[in-house]
Copies of this chain bind each other. A is one copy, B any other.
């Protein structure tokens, strides 16, 4: 479990080989989940909604089938424990929730691979050398309320319910009532942190969600950590006025200032590195007959390095301020969410590289540009991830896909990593 334990695994691995994970069955489970909760518009497993609950029911059936008793914690995470020769457990998992028109693999791959690991142990006449804890984190995506990593941050102890209390979804529903309808009391979610006592490390298999592995190979890679993220809401205020009766030179068009700001923000990574995205741009009153008086941009900045992230944020604020001033508008910004760059455990990274090399003959290491529950776990204990190549680098979209042989390679390397970490 600790780095030292990982280093000593090879001897044990040889003497008592772990049962083989059935990668084809894992892929079949993924396809079954996709049939249940996907379609031409992609995955529909937005957390706290009907189809997410369908996905949870499907997962529960799989776990019960192998003799486990799934249970939920105070943050809505789903857990299934399997006894082993030692404690604390090794936690394995990911999330079944998705963005609104997402892909079939994002999150689901890691959960089904974790089921595969537990299923393999359930199928042999032998307890694992260490207990196993499967976890399906609640609301990794934050798609409905804009707050990612809900369940894993509750367990990591970084969730402050007071900061979330005012969040509403696009339909105006409060997070508190939506969670309550799912049996989760927002104020009590941090109590899920007591789960931490039960496990000592966390492993997650995930798709890359980017194009690097497909473009440069190999099909799978170890992950060195997650980039830092700064997510901000910029509001630009101009003057709403009549689209037909206001001459161009008298306008204070907040929408055009926001358009200009988004284009300036796009230029930041060329100077500072990292990536910058304006994924939401909303105008008010938002009707064709009015010059926009207010515009709101949701900007997501990511950088592997904390100082680089800070420079990006400063440059973004300058960019938005300048774009607003050029159209006689005012700008301000508020923090939506941030997370520092988080490195994974060096010895687990090494174990993951060895596991990947066993399967595909190469041990590349990537930094994850996407956020993962593993980043929250890495704050408090050793964590590690393995990535599978994404076709076209596409994720958070219905076209998200991975070649079946690359999925199988990822599942096998993940199983090998789990075997190393179990000893």
**Chain A residues near B (Cβ < 8 Å):** 99-101, 141-143, 146, 148, 208-212, 227, 229, 231, 239-248, 250, 253, 255-256, 258-260, 262-263, 266, 269-270, 275-293, 298-300, 302, 336, 368-371, 390, 392-397, 399
Minimum Cβ distance to chain B for residue A53 (Å): 21
Given contacts A242-B395, A245-B210, A245-B369, contact A231 B288 (CB under 8 A): yes
What is the bound-complex CA distance between A255 and B399, given in angstroms? 19
Supposing A263-B259, A263-B263 touch, asked if A211 and B281 sit within 8 A by C-beta, the answer is: no
Task: Pick from B148, B281, B393: contact of A289, CB below 8 A.
Answer: B148
Give complex CA distance A104, B368 in Å.
53
B211 engages A393 (CB within 8 Å): no
**What residues of chain B lie closer than 8 Å to A227, measured between beta carbons?**
244
**Copies of this protein, total:** 2
Would you call B241 and A370 a contact (CB within 8 A)?
no
**Complex CA–CA separation, A282 to B287 (angstroms):** 11
Residue A285 contacts which of B293, B371, B396 (CB distance < 8 angstroms)?
Answer: B396
Q: Which residues of B contact A143 (CB under 8 A)?
A: 287, 289
**A to B CB contacts below 8 Å, 12 in the list:** A210-B246, A211-B250, A241-B395, A242-B395, A243-B275, A244-B368, A253-B277, A256-B263, A256-B278, A280-B286, A281-B282, A289-B371
Q: Is the CB of A245 within 8 A of B209?
A: yes
Question: Assuming A266-B256, A278-B255, is B302 touching A244 (CB within 8 A)?
Answer: yes
> How far in angstroms is the closest Cβ of chain B from A208?
6
Of B208, B240, B368, the contact of A396 (CB 8 Å cutoff): B240
**What residue of chain B has the Cβ atom nearest to residue A293's Cβ?**
B397
Q: Contact at B298–A99, with CB atoms within 8 Å?
A: no
Q: Is B369 touching A211 in the complex (CB atoms < 8 A)? A: no
Smallest beta-carbon distance A370→chain B, Å: 4
In-complex Cβ contact of A397 among B256, B290, B336 (8 A): B290
Contact A246 B279 (CB under 8 A): no
Q: A263-B263, A370-B244, A396-B242 are in contact. Are A281 and B279 (CB under 8 A)?
A: no
* Contact for A275 among B210, B247, B336, B393, CB less than 8 A: B247
